[in-house]
Amino acid sequence: MTKINKPARAKVPLKWSMVRLLVLCWLLPLALISYVVFYVAVGKINSQTEHAIVTSTDNAVRICEMRMDAAVEASRNASYFTTIRESYDRYREDGNAMTLQKEVSLFLERMYAYDDNFQYTSLVFTDDPDVQFFTAYRGSTSNAVYQAGQRFADRVMPKVLELSAGLDTDVAVTAIEDGVYLIRNLMTPSYHPYAVLTMELNTDVVFGSLDGAWGYEAGAVYVDNIFLTGDNSDIFKDRPGIGPELFADNNRSSRLVKKNGEYYACVVRKPDKHYIGYLIALDRQAVIDEAYALKYVSLILFLFMLPLIIIVFNFFSRKVTRPMGSLINAAHMLEEGHFGYQIERNANSQEFEYLEEAFNHMSARLQDQIDRIYTEELALKDARIMALQAQINPHFLNNALEVINWEARIHENFEVSRMIENLSIMLEATMDRRHRRFVTLAEEMSYVEAYLFIIAQRLGERLKVEKDVDERLLAMKVPRLIIQPIIENAVEHGINGQTQGRIAVHIFREENRLVIEVRNTGRMSRQDEEKIRILLADNAEAGETGSTSLGIRNVNRRIKIIYGEAYGLTIRNEESGETVSRIVVQVQEAGSENGVRGGQKSQQ
């Protein structure tokens, strides 16, 4: 019976498992309980707050009503007492205006000058409205009284007379200019109006009790949809939907209304055939402060839960997660080839201290074994490389000397000096008296330049050279003398025997690989392709081959020994009719003195 293996589930790090456990078993239940407690408590606080607002508003409105009733009752005294009517009747008989002025003014002063519900009181007779009888509340300056009298005569009385025409025996409360006025007609026994009494209410006294409402910010009073007065009245004017529309219900009890995020207390009274609406804008912060206070307390309690979670998490992190992370990181370092890697001693428990010591001991022993095996292998490779370099054919040097000798005999010019300089470069590269295995790409290209200069003197216009080298790569380290043999092969097999030829050198980087391409005109024959395949094979051995073929084989062998089988030399035909030689080596910065193969260091 075949056993089917189920795919392994992704493992969750221990740290996050611990976090999940703390959140699900500690933080989430406590948060849920806190929320329920907060929700119930806030509901009770909101109910108590609303009750306090409604109760305080009812009390404030009752005081306003008492003040208003007192003002209306005081206005009736002008009719109940016959002083004004009798004085007016005598005036009509004897025409003594001085006596009328004295008696009426004295009556108004006695009745209203000491009543703090009124600021100013004015009386005019309907058959002579231009004559005004006026008194002011005691405490007003003579200048203020004079200005008030002028205001009554010029701006208030015209509107009062217009309103009183349809008033009959009713009492009107209205707003004119910036004042609130109580208006009533004085009637004859046959109920014909003979005078109009106008009283400017002292709104700070009559409606002043509104500011005693809980959370009071501003107050307004409406009579029959007419806005009478308001403390900070701009608050009501600038807020849409705030006004008489809130008084749709004839509810003698106050109620709390929330409109556009703001809170209001409103109440409606309908004495007789008029109605009075009281509107109080509440301080939103004062209304919600109680709930917010509980919210902050709950938040503080919740925050006090966090330290315990942090302490548990920190303990687990120091005692388990951090030492385990060090072991995991060290294992990754070994996987990447960093043998001998040592863990810093940061364990604070006996168990992890033992694991760290065991890992460091194992890593040190592994590094020792690798070093011994690698040193023996490297010594063998160095011996093989030195043997390969010793096989370089000096035939090219003879040809170079013949060209120099010919130039010296025929032309007798400074080209000889240049030939000698480039020959010196080639001799230095060949002999390698400093025994360097690696040089910078810039120095390697100097060998190529020297060789091409000498060849150009021999071939003249038959040879065209193109170079495309990324200058950022010139500081990279490459094995010595790997490009010149390929250029020599391109000249010998691609240029010699042709009337015109081209060699193009292109050096670029592909990720962590340095690529050197040499293109030359001419295609390889099948015999040449087979010969190249044999030369570049892993088991190719030196035989009876020319110097150029030996150079190709040496370059490929050296690269593979240094970097491994993933690197080396390839030569192929292209459809364009050219032969392309491609060298691939590992990118190596200029600061490095060693070659690298498979993540291990290669000593010189």
Residues of the chain with CATH 3.30.565.10: 436-444+456-602
Angle between helices 547-563 and 526-535 (to 10 degrees): 40
Query: Beta-carbon neighbour count of residue 552 at 10 Å?
Result: 23
Query: What DSSP string runs through 37-75?
Result: HHHHHHHHHHHHHHHHHHHHHHHHHHHHHHHHHHHHHHH
Rounded to whole angstroms, the Cα distance separating 318 from 548 reads 65
Strands of 485-533 (E only): list them: 501-510, 513-521
Cβ–Cβ < 8 Å for 394, 425 = no
What pLDDT score does 392 carry? Answer: 45
Rounded to whole angstroms, the Cα distance separating 453 from 456 reads 5
Rounded to whole angstroms, the Cα distance separating 507 from 469 reads 5
What values do phi and psi take at 386, rounded to 5? -65, -35
What pLDDT score does 518 carry? Answer: 93
Match domain 436-444+456-602 to its CATH number in 3.40.50.10140, 3.40.50.720, 3.90.470.20, 3.30.565.10.
3.30.565.10
Cβ–Cβ < 8 Å for 218, 235 = yes
Half-sphere exposure of 72 (CA within 13 A, CB side): 13
Query: Could you say which residues of the chain have pLDDT below 50?
Result: 1-4, 379-380, 383, 387, 390-393, 544, 595, 598-604
* Burial category of 514 from C-beta neighbours within 10 Å (exposed 0-12, middle 13-18, buried 19 and up): buried
pLDDT per position as a tens digit, 465-484: 899 999 999 999 998 888 98
Distances (CA, A) of 467 to 402, 421, 448, 512, 521: 27, 21, 11, 22, 15
Write out the two tokens for 352.
């992890």
Write out the two tokens for 167.
């008033």
Rounded to whole angstroms, the Cα distance separating 170 from 168 reads 6
What pLDDT score does 558 carry? Answer: 85
Strands across the sheet with 568-573, in order? 463-469, 501-510, 513-521, 578-586, 568-573
Q: CA triplet 284, 285, 286: central angle to 5 degrees?
A: 90
What pLDDT score does 6 carry? Answer: 52
The partner residues of 124 in beta bridges, in order of sequence, read 132, 196
Distances (CA, A) of 124 to 68, 194, 412: 23, 9, 139
Cβ–Cβ < 8 Å for 53, 214 = yes
pLDDT per position as a tens digit, 233-285: 667 766 666 766 666 655 567 777 777 777 888 888 766 667 788 888 887 77
Residues of the chain with CATH 3.30.450.220: 51-287
Length of the chain: 604
Angle between helices 28-80 and 284-316 (to 10 degrees): 170
Stated as kind and residue range, the H or E segment containing 22 is helix 14-22
The partner residues of 521 in beta bridges, in order of sequence, read 578
Match 């081209």 to its residue by tokens.
Answer: 502
Rounded to whole angstroms, the Cα distance separating 13 from 18 reads 9
The domain over range 51-287 is classified in CATH as 3.30.70.270: no
Long-range pairs for 332-335: beta carbons < 8 A, 24 or more residues apart:
334/363, 334/366
